[in-house]
Amino acid sequence: MQIDRRKLLSSALAAPLASACATFPTTAPSRTLIRGADLVTMESEGELLNTDVLIDGGKIIEIGRGLPAEGASIVNARGMILMPGMIDGHRHVWQTILNGLLPKMSPSYSRYDRLANMTYALCFDPDDMHHAQYIGGLACLDAGVTTVIDQMHAANGDEMELAAARGLKDSGVAGVFCYQMRNGPYYGRGDTYAHAKAVAERNQPPDERHWRNAESIRDTYFGSDGLLAFGIGLTGSVGAQALDVAVQEFHRARALQPRLLTQHMNQRAGTQAPILRGVSDLQAAGVLGPDYLVSHGVDMTDEEMGMLRDAGSGLSSTVLGEFNYAKPSVHGRARAIGLNVAIGLDVGIALTHDYFEHMRAAYWNLMRTETGRDMALSLTPVDTLHFATGNALKAAGYGDITGSLKRGKRADLVLLRTDRPGFPQLGSPADRIVTGASQADIDSVWVNGRAVKSSGRLTRVDQTALERKSSIIRDSIVARAATITLT
């Protein structure tokens, strides 16, 4: 008798998985006093040593020494560093479950788009995708990323896409779920299909199914007050369509009132003919705005970045992932021009999820150009942290809601232990974070005042059960992907 391994394990795991996937409650937690931490406020107050932070109702309500503890649960943070939760300005969260399958530093990465986005992405069933987005959101929280701009481009059917939105929402991470508009795909499991045809179809204006499902996802999962908002990823890369067609898509997408419009704008090393249409065309057409967030944009001129700045738009440089691009990341130039810029992980399938490495890469990547080197040498550690906190949130249109330690701000916080051998003990708290902090140092994480990580572990989840389910899903995805042939 043939045994269906997936079925067997699924039923065996049913009970523990039910509790493992408990969703984070959306209600505000009770009052919490974080006592005696060294604060990196990312505000004009700078760094405050041995200081208390009182949070209540999801917000920071007081910062000072000797704050009253009445009615609050107390976290003794003496000797630890408290910083704002970080933001990822561009990530494909669904890929997290497949991380390691396609390392960026391997020759196989040259087939990234073909494998990740045109093959694996088509192999998720709704429950698989819910789980992938759920653990992808947890991976953000575990790494101190409390806000993520997710560009969900594994678009392949109404139910799967609805499940993607639900999975990220259930994880408890804040940010924007950007639903990718596209045309097709018109192939799937078991099919042999021409790769060039698939790419050409993908770059056509979005089909009606996508427009319908965008509305359905928005109405089903996104109200006006949630931590996770609804956004739209515009079709493909800028330049794949005529300008008037692209402009129509901007207008139709905005009619759905998304929190953000994100769009890839990139060129990989070795490719010919820039696919960038030019921000100037979009500006002349009047479609730039504060809700527009460009990813990469490594071909952009200073003038184009000035146009984005003047329109209140933002930029996400995915600095660690952009090392193989023909041109260096432009976050340094953007900062100098006054364009709000975030960093991001981008390819969750291929890179470390330790976000401190991405933050550090924002500094080192500047060394790739002479002008960037001058900029790097003028940056303070707090400036480098801004690429992953305050300024980054402004790039994503968050203004002053969160991103720093200040009375009235949303309590999105990261508390770091400092007692690991090798953790930098000299210098200011920001010096120490930028020099040597890692994900392993994170003791606690709060989102909207609720502890989602405590004593180094995610709260309310059974990590062992989650990983067992992930393992089954990974096996299924790889097996299904083997049935798709792109010629």
Q: Is the dihedral of CA 469, 475, 478, 482 positive or negative?
A: negative
At closest approach, how far in Å is the CB of 437 from Zn ion? 25
- Name which of 142, 149, 172, 162 is nearest 438 in CA terms: 142
Contact mark string toward Zn ion, 351..370, x via CB under 5 A: --------------------
At closest approach, how far in Å is the CB of 295 from Zn ion? 5
The token pair at 119 is 């093959």
Question: How many residues in the shown chain lie near Zn ion by CB under 5 A?
Answer: 1
- Name which of 119, 45, 41, 54 is nearest 81 in CA terms: 41
Stretch that binds Zn ion, among 78-86, 344-352, 363-371, 438-446 (CB under 5 A): 344-352
Stretch that binds Zn ion, among 164-172, 220-228, 301-309, 343-351 (CB under 5 A): 343-351
At closest approach, how far in Å is the CB of 11 from Zn ion? 37
- Residue (52 or 346) nearer to Zn ion, CB: 346
Alpha helices in 350-413 (DSSP H): 355-364, 370-378, 381-386, 390-395
Amino acid at 151: Q
- Residue (321 or 381) nearer to Zn ion, CB: 321
Alpha helices in 144-271 (DSSP H): 158-171, 195-202, 208-221, 243-254
At closest approach, how far in Å is the CB of 401 from Zn ion? 24
- Residue (172 or 233) nearer to Zn ion, CB: 233
At closest approach, how far in Å is the CB of 83 from Zn ion? 26
Judged by CB under 5 A, which of 38, 346, 412, 443 binds Zn ion? 346
Q: Is the dihedral of CA 164, 166, 168, 171 positive or negative?
A: negative
Stretch that binds Zn ion, among 60-68, 250-258, 275-283, 345-353 (CB under 5 A): 345-353
Going by their DSSP bridges, the two strands 413-416 and 81-84 should be labelled as antiparallel
At closest approach, how far in Å is the CB of 233 from Zn ion? 9
Q: Closest residue to Zn ion, Cβ-based?
A: 346
Question: Cα separations (Å) of 13 from 138, 234, 316, 464?
Answer: 20, 38, 39, 11
Q: Where are the beta strands (DSSP E) in 266-403?
A: 292-296, 314-317, 341-343
The angle formed by the CA atoms of residues 362, 363 and 368, to the nearest 5 degrees, is: 95
- Residue (150 or 346) nearer to Zn ion, CB: 346
Site for Zn ion in 79-138 (CB under 5 A): none
Backbone angle region of 421, left / alpha / beta, with phi > 0 → left and psi within -120 to 50 → alpha: beta
At closest approach, how far in Å is the CB of 407 from Zn ion? 36
- Residue (149 or 451) nearer to Zn ion, CB: 149
Q: By CB under 5 A, is residue 150 in contact with Zn ion? A: no
Question: Which residues make up the interface to Zn ion (CB under 5 A)?
Answer: 346
